[in-house]
């Protein structure tokens, strides 16, 4: 705690191997190398496997991730460490950033105006049945969890209480409302994940602001549980170990979806491993494509199995800030999206972050309506319901296209229930519609192509 740090480029992550087969000599080498380069071990994080007794009766040490501050020659130290037999890998800790807003933020609440979301996604989504609550991890700048239109949907750790004790023995003290992992790589971090940048609160509102509560806006899912995991500074800067620790927390809490409205160019293995573990446990990861407006590949959107989402304007045109590439899968509205901001305020933001949030809320709603859908079935429905925008086939700018909620309803075989939204909304009564044969045919005709290409990309 409170260790003065050099620049983050001087922080090394060193994953040690299990010690079976390596003698005292090898351990000495590691110690000598650490001493040689004037290093300071900031943290040693035990990895998943517990210590166990080997066949020869020797107690094997568990793998560990050492977080090391190097005062000078960090590159050389990394190379030397990497060559040691007891080191699996050694990497410089890499930064990442939130995808920040691409427009000015008017602060005036517009209670009766929610632009394109009301017209399309929201109107339909709000009529899907809810058969179970969905847990969504917002790994971001934090959430203003006392916000008037959010507090009802914030996940709470009922196994913790505010007593300065780690009641649930997960290594974190008083993590009642999630956790703030910013600085956790050096042993800092705090139980208070309140939003410092406004970014995470906006994402949270799009997904799960209260509905029918006569307050603010309507989120896409009125009974979602938003798991608030902060990991960035107030300016939206973070590092990949803090992000990995947040993802590990989300895995432990068995979330259904993780939304990542941030990105990085150079990957740390520790984050990649955390993301792969989440995916292998069936967690859906939705990631924003990025706001560079270029084809430079950013992660985690570029990781196979992650649902990557770019942005389109309210008229359905590709937004010029939206990063693109072969890995673009879907687009969603991402221009002037109204949502919650800290301190009971509201405002619009533009960016692929907002698009990822819309996709997240939509998927949460689908999972609620059809609790038995497998991850692959869910993805198939997304492919079927995507309206191509630029080209009939998948393309680098808009992927498979934007979800057509009406088609989604039909493919899911869920008919809208007749329902009137709370007063104060520019919403209209939706009458139940029957499934039109011709609409189904469009989906069916497009499906083989999409499935072949989409599932292939999904699996690699």
Stretch that binds Ca ion, among 114-122, 214-222, 250-258, 388-396 (CB under 5 A): 214-222
Per annotation, catalytic residue among 141, 322, 339, 353:
353
CA-CA distance, 224 to 155, in Å (whole number)?
Answer: 9
Residue 219 Cβ, how far from Ca ion at the closest point, in Å? Answer: 7
Tell the smallest beta-carbon distance from residue 354 to Ca ion (Å): 17
For Ca ion, which residue of 38, 112, 213, 433 counts as binding (CB under 5 A)? 213
Question: Does residue 174 belong to the site contacting Ca ion (CB under 5 A)?
Answer: yes
Report the relative pairing of strands 95-98 and 307-312 from DSSP bridges.
unpaired
From the CB of 160, what's the least distance to Ca ion, in Å?
5
What mask, x for binding Ca ion by CB under 5 A, covers residues 291 to 330?
A: ----------------------------------------
Identify the CA nearest to 14 among candidates 183, 231, 264, 185: 185
Active site residue 199: yes
Whole-angstrom distance, CA of residue 413 vs CA of residue 100: 37
Establish whether 140 is a catalytic residue. yes
- Which of residues 91, 175, 195, 298 is near Ca ion by CB under 5 A? 175
Identify the active-site residue in 140, 144, 149, 242. Answer: 140
Site string for Ca ion, 134-173 (x = CB under 5 A): ---------------x----------x--x-xxxx-x-x-
Q: Least distance (Å) from Ca ion to the CB of residue 285?
A: 24
Listed residue (350, 313, 309) closest to 104, CA to CA? 350
Number of residues that bind Ca ion (CB under 5 A): 16
**195 touching Ca ion, by CB under 5 A:** no
353 is an active site residue: yes
Catalytic residue among 199, 221, 370, 381: 199
Segment interacting with Ca ion, rule: CB under 5 A, options 13-21, 113-121, 201-209, 323-331: 201-209
Give min distance, CB of 117 to Ca ion, in A. Answer: 13
Residue 41: other Cβ atoms inside 10 A: 11
From 102-110, 189-197, 209-217, 355-363, give the range in contact with Ca ion by CB under 5 A.
209-217
Which residues contact Ca ion by CB under 5 A? 149, 160, 163, 165-168, 170, 172, 174-175, 209-210, 213, 215-216
Catalytic residue IDs: 140, 199, 353
């Amino acid at each position: 705690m409170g260790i003065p740090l050099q620049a983050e480029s001087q922080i090394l992550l060193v994953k040690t191997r299990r010690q079976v087969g390596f003698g005292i000599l090898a351990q000495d080498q590691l110690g000598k190398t650490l001493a040689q380069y004037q290093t300071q071990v900031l943290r040693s994080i035990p990895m998943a496997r517990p210590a166990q007794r080997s066949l020869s009766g020797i107690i094997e040490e568990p793998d560990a991730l050492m977080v090391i501050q190097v005062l000078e020659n960090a590159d050389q130290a990394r190379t030397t460490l990497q060559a040691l037999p007891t080191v699996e890998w050694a990497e410089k800790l890499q930064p990442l950033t939130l995808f920040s807003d691409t427009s000015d933020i008017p602060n005036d609440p517009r209670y009766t105006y929610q632009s394109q979301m009301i017209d399309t996604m929201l109107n339909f989504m709000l009529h899907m049945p809810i058969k179970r609550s969905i847990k969504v991890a917002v790994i971001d700048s934090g959430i203003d969890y006392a916000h008037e239109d959010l507090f009802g949907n914030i996940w709470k750790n009922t196994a913790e209480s505010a007593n300065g004790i780690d009641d649930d023995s997960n290594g974190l003290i008083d993590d009642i409302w999630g956790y703030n992992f910013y600085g956790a790589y050096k042993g800092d971090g705090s139980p208070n994940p309140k939003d410092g940048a406004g970014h995470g609160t906006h994402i949270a509102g799009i997904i799960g602001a209260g509905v029918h509560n006569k307050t603010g806006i309507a989120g896409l899912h009125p009974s979602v549980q938003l798991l608030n995991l902060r990991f960035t500074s107030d300016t939206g800067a973070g590092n990949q170990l803090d992000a990995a620790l947040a993802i590990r927390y989300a895995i432990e809490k068995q979330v259904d979806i993780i939304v990542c409205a941030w990105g990085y160019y150079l990957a740390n293995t520790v984050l990649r491993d955390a993301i792969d573990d989440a995916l292998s446990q069936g967690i859906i990861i939705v990631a924003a494509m990025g706001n560079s407006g270029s084809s430079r590949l950013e992660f985690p959107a570029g990781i196979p199995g992650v649902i990557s989402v770019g942005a389109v304007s309210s008229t359905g045109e590709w937004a010029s800030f939206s990063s693109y590439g072969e890995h673009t899968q879907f687009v969603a509205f991402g221009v002037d999206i109204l949502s919650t901001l800290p301190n009971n305020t509201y405002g619009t933001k533009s960016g692929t972050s907002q698009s990822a949030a819309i996709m997240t809320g939509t998927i949460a709603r689908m999972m609620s309506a059809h609790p038995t859908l497998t991850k692959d079935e869910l993805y198939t429905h997304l492919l079927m319901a995507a309206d191509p925008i630029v080209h009939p086939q998948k393309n680098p700018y808009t992927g498979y296209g934007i979800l057509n909620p009406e088609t989604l309803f039909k493919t899911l075989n869920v008919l809208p229930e007749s329902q009137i939204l709370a007063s104060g909304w520019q919403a209209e009564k939706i009458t139940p519609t029957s499934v039109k044969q011709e609409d189904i045919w469009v989906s069916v005709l497009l499906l083989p192509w999409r499935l072949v290409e989409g599932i292939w990309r999904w699996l690699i």
